[in-house]
Amino acid sequence: MGTLLILLVLTLFLAAILTGGYNKEFLLRARQTKVWDWLTTVDHKKIGIMYFLSGFFFLLIGGLEAIFMRLQLAVPNNDLFTGDIFNQLLTMHGTTMIFLAAMPMIFGLINVIMPLQIGARDVAFPFLNSLGFWLFFWGGILLNLSWFFGGAPNAGWTSYTSLALNSYSPGLGVDYYVLGLQITGIGSLMSGINFIATIINMRTPGMTFLRMPMFTWTSFVTSALLVFAMPPLTVALLLLMFDRVFGAAIFDHAMGGSSVIWQHLFWIFGHPEVYIVILPAFGIMSEIISTFSKKRLFGYTSMVFATVLIGFLGFMVWVHHMFTVGLGPMSNSIFAVATMAIAVPTGIKVFNWLFTMWGGEIHFKTPMLWAVGFVPTFVIGGMTGVMLSVPPADYQYQDSYFVVAHFHYVLVGGTAFALFAGAYYWWPKMFGKMLSEKLGKWHFWLFFIGFHMTFFPQHFLGLFGMPRRVFTYQANHGLELLNLISSIGVIGMTLGTIFFMVAVVQAARSKELAPADPWDGRTLEWSIPSPVPEYNFAQLPLVRGADAFWLEKQAGNKEMTPAEPLGSIHMPSGSYIPMLMSLGLFVAGYGFVVKSWIIGAIGIAFTFIMMYIRSFEQDFGYHIEPEEINGSAKAKEVKA
Applying CB under 8 A, the residues found at the interface with another protein are: 121, 124-125, 128, 189, 192-194, 196-197, 200-202, 224, 227-228, 230-232, 234-236, 238-239, 242-243, 246-250, 252, 255-258, 260-261, 264-265, 268, 315-316, 318-319, 327, 540, 567-570, 612, 615-616, 618, 620
Helices 366-388/417-431 angle, 10° precision = 150
Least separation in angstroms between residue 435's CB and another protein is 34
Least separation in angstroms between residue 536's CB and another protein is 12
Quote the CA–CA distance of 399 and 466 in Å, as a whole number. Answer: 9
Provide the β-strand partners of residue 571: 622
Q: C-alpha distances in angstroms, 429 versus 163, 287, 425, 517?
A: 46, 14, 8, 9
Provide the β-strand partners of residue 622: 571
Provide the β-strand partners of residue 171: none
Give the nearer residue to another protein in terms of CB position, either 119 or 521.
Answer: 119
Strand 622-624 and strand 569-571: pairing? antiparallel
The H-assigned helical ranges of 358-473 are: 366-388, 391-397, 401-410, 417-431, 437-463
Residues 22/16, Cβ–Cβ less than 8 Å: yes
Residues 269/232, Cβ–Cβ less than 8 Å: yes
What single DSSP character describes residue 320?
G
Give the nearer residue to another protein in terms of CB position, either 27 or 249.
Answer: 249
Closest residue by Cα to residue 239 from 254, 257, 226, 251: 251
Give the nearer residue to another protein in terms of CB position, either 291 or 536.
Answer: 536
Mark residue 158 as left, alpha or beta (left: phi above 0; alpha: psi -120 to 50; beta: remaining): alpha
Closest residue by Cα to residue 524 from 148, 202, 213, 144: 213
Quote the CA–CA distance of 576 and 601 in Å, as a whole number. Answer: 22
3-state helix, strand, coil in the chain (%, to 5): 70, 0, 30
Least separation in angstroms between residue 339's CB and another protein is 15
Give the nearer residue to another protein in terms of CB position, either 461 or 624.
Answer: 624
Distance of CA 450 to the CA centre of its chain: 23
Sign of the Cα pseudo-torsion (291, 275, 101, 484, in order): negative
Least separation in angstroms between residue 121's CB and another protein is 8
Provide the β-strand partners of residue 623: 570
Residue 482 parent element (H or E): helix 480-509
Least separation in angstroms between residue 252's CB and another protein is 7
Least separation in angstroms between residue 55's CB and another protein is 23
Give the nearer residue to another protein in terms of CB position, either 229 or 284.
Answer: 229
Least separation in angstroms between residue 152's CB and another protein is 27
Distance of CA 505 to the CA centre of its chain: 22
Residues 446/496, Cβ–Cβ less than 8 Å: yes
Least separation in angstroms between residue 223's CB and another protein is 9
Least separation in angstroms between residue 247's CB and another protein is 4
Least separation in angstroms between residue 188's CB and another protein is 11
Residue 592 CB coordination number (10 Å): 21
Give the nearer residue to another protein in terms of CB position, either 308 or 379.
Answer: 308
Least separation in angstroms between residue 166's CB and another protein is 12
Give the nearer residue to another protein in terms of CB position, either 250 or 411.
Answer: 250
Least separation in angstroms between residue 616's CB and another protein is 6
Least separation in angstroms between residue 13's CB and another protein is 24
Give the nearer residue to another protein in terms of CB position, either 182 or 290.
Answer: 182
Give the nearer residue to another protein in terms of CB position, either 551 or 571.
Answer: 571
Least separation in angstroms between residue 519's CB and another protein is 28
Least separation in angstroms between residue 541's CB and another protein is 12
Give the nearer residue to another protein in terms of CB position, either 254 or 638.
Answer: 254
Residue 571: strand, helix, or coil: strand
Count each helix (H run) and each strand (E run) in the chain, helices first: 22, 2
Give the nearer residue to another protein in terms of CB position, either 167 or 618.
Answer: 618
Closest residue by Cα to residue 161 from 153, 173, 169: 169
Quote the CA–CA distance of 355 and 320 in Å, as a whole number. Answer: 32
Give the nearer residue to another protein in terms of CB position, either 26 or 620.
Answer: 620
Quote the CA–CA distance of 65 and 94 in Å, as a whole number. Answer: 9
Give the nearer residue to another protein in terms of CB position, either 78 or 158.
Answer: 158
Q: Following CA atoms 250, 254, 258, 260 in sequence, which dihedral angle do they give, to the nearest 10 degrees?
A: 130
Least separation in angstroms between residue 201's CB and another protein is 5
Give the nearer residue to another protein in terms of CB position, either 115 or 367.
Answer: 115
Quote the CA–CA distance of 93 and 70 in Å, as a whole number. Answer: 12
* DSSP symbols for 233-280: HHHHHHHHHHHHHS---SS-GGGT--HHHHHHHHHHHHHHHHHHHHHH
Would you say how long the chain is, in residues?
640
Quote the CA–CA distance of 422 and 418 in Å, as a whole number. Answer: 6
Give the nearer residue to another protein in terms of CB position, either 128 or 405.
Answer: 128
Helices 103-117/259-293 angle, 10° precision = 50
CB hemisphere CA count around 589 (13 angstroms): 33
Give the nearer residue to another protein in terms of CB position, either 68 or 228.
Answer: 228
